[in-house]
A and B are shown apart, each in its own frame.
Chain A
Amino acid sequence: MRAMFRNRGGVHPAYRKWGTAGAPIEALPLPKTLSISLAQHIGVPSKPIAQKGQKVHAGERIAEPGGYVSSAVHAPASGVVKAIEERPAVNGKYALTVVIETDGAMEDHRPDEADWTRLHPKEMVDRVAQAGVIGMGGAGFPTHVKLTPPPGKTIDTLILNGAECEPYLTADHRLMVEDAARVWEGACILRKILGASHLRVAIEDNKPDAIRAMEAAMKGADDGVALVILKTEYPQGAEKQLIYSVLGRQVPSGGLPMDVGALVENVATAVAVREAVVAQRPLLRRVTTVTGPGIRRPRNVLAPVGTPLQDLVDFCGGLTEDTVKIVVGGPMMGVAVATLEAGTAKTTSGLLALTRRVVPQYQSMPCIGCGRCVGACPMGLMPCTLSEHLEAEDYEAAEELNVLDCIECGCCAYECPAARPLVQHMKQGKARVATLRRQRESQAVK
């Protein structure tokens, strides 16, 4: 069925998915070294348990969760731990990184167990936690935490997110086309864990082959299941927007999807959950779309976590000379990185090489009040007014204009003819306002 509800705002960037939408997923030969960041997820960084010089085998745990909202990390291939030190990570920051010099053995051949349907949900969540599964759509929230809602919260609908609204990216798209059965099984496992009566598979209408593949995989499912076809629009796949499109429910400001009885999981996460529950396989690799005008042979690559970006680029024919920007993730919310040394993370859905032709150079001007950002904002904010307040460091005014509701999707800055760094203003404003709030609360306690 078509999605019944239409989100406000949104933009239609040039999608440019044709380069890789038809390209089958290809496995990358095992890189010589892997740099596995211990801060791939949201929350407390993982604590390394492997020692420098230690030999590790594929699937061995090299770091354990550093707290409740944290995740385990495993060695994607066997080899020797060369270093545990701070290195640049794909999010543009530095993080404690385990560097493994691989020795060629990648696979761990654990067979599928027969029947997951007899497992207790608690046992399944435990397996998900053991496998170090985190949200692979981009945010990287530890999945086992998400699957353990606090008592009193019931989740009636699980939404499987196959929207992939970011331009260029086709990793989830190809996964649905080529591996629909496992995606579907993962979704069923997630539904059973949550005890959700409804399951919605949401896909944008620019991926007809993925829709067909998922429909075939879902054949014979019960009444609680439906495939929802979304209008192609950015940011259709953002959590709050997706829930609204599919269910017509608005996640309250400052709240979580579970407050409206919904939970969203990415299709790649579903596959990782399936592997964790059915075969107790840890999350060791993922599909990354390597594309953009600066990549000579764009491909969808299945690569181990921690693969240096340089290896991905080399596998795809290298960079063209006019490449000026390397982006990890999609062009709307991805991070520009300075070096190709960093290793991929579990959340790395794309690696883009952008050339001068497609990269905007910002020379920002004063706001000319065109109102396009107001029209484009999916959250109903007024980015133009907000950015003027934030420029003047008037954080109280920004708070009153709900800066904390910003999802940093980038629609405003995409549209802005004055090339104002609106998202950067918002990010900084959110951080400052959050600090101010904490200060106020601690003062109130005093």
Chain B
Amino acid sequence: MGLWIPILVIGGTGIVCGAVLAAASRFFAVHEDPRLEALAELLPGINCGACGFAGCSEYARAMLEKGIPVNLCKPGGHETVSRVASFLGVEAVAGERQVALVLCKGDDAAASRSTLYNGLADCAAAELAGGGGKDCRFGCLGLGTCARVCPVGAIEITAGRLAVVHPELCIGCRQCVAACPRRLIKMAPESSLIHVLCNSHDRGPLVRKVCRVGCIACTVCVKLVNEKGIRMKNNLAVVDYEVPLDNDEVVSRCPQHTIERRRLKKTVEV
């Protein structure tokens, strides 16, 4: 007899709970578009937010319900876009793959730090507390805020306290672009080869005082390309990625070695 009481109590509890759950699943069931799950499966599933929606399934829902364009997924690239397009029966062309690029070359060997920053190891916090120790007010602080938000670990902080994006790993989600308090990470199309790695709008003499590799606005590169592909913008040479540019002379003639030739494509395709 003593054995039966616990068996009945526990068994009874189980039966009651089971009944409640069964009823709940029946009456509170949410009817979702069956295509939603399948569509979300086609997306990369890293929830980076580059499409402007809060994660892959939200983007899938937006495509289904609101007819949002299907080519917004940046990490997915061509493949994903064409899969999604064929799933929904629409035509779409993915834009070129974009890669994040840190527009600063001034590591500790090149750019001076005359003060010591003693505080939270976060660029945004350092920026609020008087600049984080770097003398150049446009340069990379190297405290790694971008590296921490990168969902795929594509950003490395070098020993010289400079953030460097590994282009082969970058999925183009732009999280780092938004996170950098100095706004010195920019997106570049993967076919581009020539990059001006500086973000300083200071005048030449001021730049020279704080950095060996900063753009001093000498305009040599701009004249070489005849303003096609590189233009001066407020004391800074800026690459116009709309114009294809492959000119080794701008690299070799840049007196500050600010301009670099860098391949952003993933691996050599055979």
Interface residues, chain A, CB within 8 Å of chain B? 92-94, 335-338, 361-362, 421, 424-425, 427-428, 431
Contact partner of B114 among A336, A338, A362, CB < 8 A?
Answer: A338
Q: Is there an interface contact between A338 and B131, defined as CB atoms closer than 8 Å?
A: yes
A-B contact pairs, 12 of them (CB 8 A): A92-B131, A94-B137, A336-B129, A338-B131, A361-B118, A362-B119, A421-B119, A421-B120, A424-B119, A424-B125, A424-B128, A427-B129
Closest to B116 in A: A324
Contact partner of B128 among A338, A362, A428, CB < 8 A?
Answer: A428
Contact with A along B162-178 (1 / 0, CB 8 A): 00000000000000000
Smallest CB–CB gap between B11 and chain A, Å?
41
- Residues of B122-149 at the interface with A, using a CB-CB cut-off of 8 Å, are 122, 124-125, 128-131, 133, 135, 137
Smallest CB–CB gap between A42 and chain B, Å?
15
Closest to A425 in B: B120
Q: A92-B130, A336-B130 are contacts. A362–B118 as well, Cβ < 8 Å?
A: yes
Contact with A along B98-112 (1 / 0, CB 8 A): 000000000000000
* Residues on A with beta carbons closer than 8 Å to the beta carbon of B135: 338
Tell me if B115 counts as interface (CB < 8 A to partner A). Answer: yes
Q: Is there an interface contact between A338 and B125, defined as CB atoms closer than 8 Å?
A: no
- Report the separation of the CA atoms of residues A362 and B129 in the bound assembly, to the nearest whole angstrom: 14
* Residues on B with beta carbons closer than 8 Å to the beta carbon of A421: 119-120, 125
Smallest CB–CB gap between A63 and chain B, Å?
21
- Report the separation of the CA atoms of residues A361 and B124 in the bound assembly, to the nearest whole angstrom: 20
List 14 additional A-B contacts (Cβ < 8 Å) besides A424-B128, A427-B125: A92-B129, A92-B131, A335-B129, A338-B114, A338-B131, A338-B135, A421-B120, A421-B125, A424-B120, A424-B125, A425-B120, A425-B125, A431-B124, A431-B128
Smallest CB–CB gap between B168 and chain A, Å?
28
Smallest CB–CB gap between A249 and chain B, Å?
31
Q: Is there an interface contact between B122 and A428, defined as CB atoms closer than 8 Å?
A: yes
Interface residues, chain B, CB within 8 Å of chain A? 114-115, 118-120, 122, 124-125, 128-131, 133, 135, 137
Q: Total contacts A to B, CB within 8 angstroms?
A: 40
* Residues on A with beta carbons closer than 8 Å to the beta carbon of B119: 362, 421, 424
* Residues on A with beta carbons closer than 8 Å to the beta carbon of B137: 94
Smallest CB–CB gap between B171 and chain A, Å?
21
* Residues on A with beta carbons closer than 8 Å to the beta carbon of B125: 421, 424-425, 427-428
* Residues on A with beta carbons closer than 8 Å to the beta carbon of B129: 92, 335-336, 424, 427
Q: Is there an interface contact between B115 and A428, defined as CB atoms closer than 8 Å?
A: no
* Residues on B with beta carbons closer than 8 Å to the beta carbon of A428: 120, 122, 124-125, 128
Q: Indicate the member of A335, A337, A424 with the most B CB atoms within 10 Å.
A: A424
- Report the separation of the CA atoms of residues A338 and B114 in the bound assembly, to the nearest whole angstrom: 8
- Report the separation of the CA atoms of residues A190 and B115 in the bound assembly, to the nearest whole angstrom: 43
| A-B complex: 10 closest residue pairs judged by Cβ atoms | A92-B130, A338-B115, A421-B120, A424-B120, A428-B125, A424-B125, A421-B119, A362-B118, A336-B130, A424-B119
* Residues on A with beta carbons closer than 8 Å to the beta carbon of B131: 92-93, 338
Smallest CB–CB gap between B119 and chain A, Å?
5
- Report the separation of the CA atoms of residues A335 and B135 in the bound assembly, to the nearest whole angstrom: 17
Closest to A363 in B: B118
- Report the separation of the CA atoms of residues A384 and B178 in the bound assembly, to the nearest whole angstrom: 28
Q: Is there an interface contact between B118 and A335, defined as CB atoms closer than 8 Å?
A: no
* Residues on A with beta carbons closer than 8 Å to the beta carbon of B118: 361-362
- Report the separation of the CA atoms of residues A428 and B119 in the bound assembly, to the nearest whole angstrom: 12
- Report the separation of the CA atoms of residues A424 and B122 in the bound assembly, to the nearest whole angstrom: 10
Smallest CB–CB gap between B5 and chain A, Å?
44
Q: Is there an interface contact between B130 and A338, defined as CB atoms closer than 8 Å?
A: yes
Smallest CB–CB gap between A350 and chain B, Å?
16
- Report the separation of the CA atoms of residues A338 and B131 in the bound assembly, to the nearest whole angstrom: 9
Smallest CB–CB gap between B36 and chain A, Å?
22
* Residues on A with beta carbons closer than 8 Å to the beta carbon of B130: 92-93, 335-338
Closest to A429 in B: B125
- Report the separation of the CA atoms of residues A362 and B135 in the bound assembly, to the nearest whole angstrom: 21
- Report the separation of the CA atoms of residues A334 and B124 in the bound assembly, to the nearest whole angstrom: 19
- Report the separation of the CA atoms of residues A431 and B120 in the bound assembly, to the nearest whole angstrom: 15
Closest to A337 in B: B130
Smallest CB–CB gap between A417 and chain B, Å?
17
* Residues on B with beta carbons closer than 8 Å to the beta carbon of A338: 114-115, 130-131, 133, 135
Smallest CB–CB gap between A395 and chain B, Å?
13
Closest to A335 in B: B130
Smallest CB–CB gap between A236 and chain B, Å?
25
* Residues on B with beta carbons closer than 8 Å to the beta carbon of A425: 120, 125
- Report the separation of the CA atoms of residues A425 and B125 in the bound assembly, to the nearest whole angstrom: 8
* Residues on B with beta carbons closer than 8 Å to the beta carbon of A362: 118-119
Q: Indicate the member of B120, B133, B135 with the most A CB atoms within 10 Å.
A: B120
Smallest CB–CB gap between B89 and chain A, Å?
29
* Residues on B with beta carbons closer than 8 Å to the beta carbon of A361: 118
Smallest CB–CB gap between B250 and chain A, Å?
28
* Residues on A with beta carbons closer than 8 Å to the beta carbon of B133: 338
- Report the separation of the CA atoms of residues A425 and B130 in the bound assembly, to the nearest whole angstrom: 15
* Residues on B with beta carbons closer than 8 Å to the beta carbon of A93: 130-131
* Residues on B with beta carbons closer than 8 Å to the beta carbon of A335: 129-130
Closest to A421 in B: B120
- Report the separation of the CA atoms of residues A93 and B120 in the bound assembly, to the nearest whole angstrom: 18
* Residues on A with beta carbons closer than 8 Å to the beta carbon of B114: 338
Smallest CB–CB gap between B147 and chain A, Å?
14
- Report the separation of the CA atoms of residues A94 and B137 in the bound assembly, to the nearest whole angstrom: 8
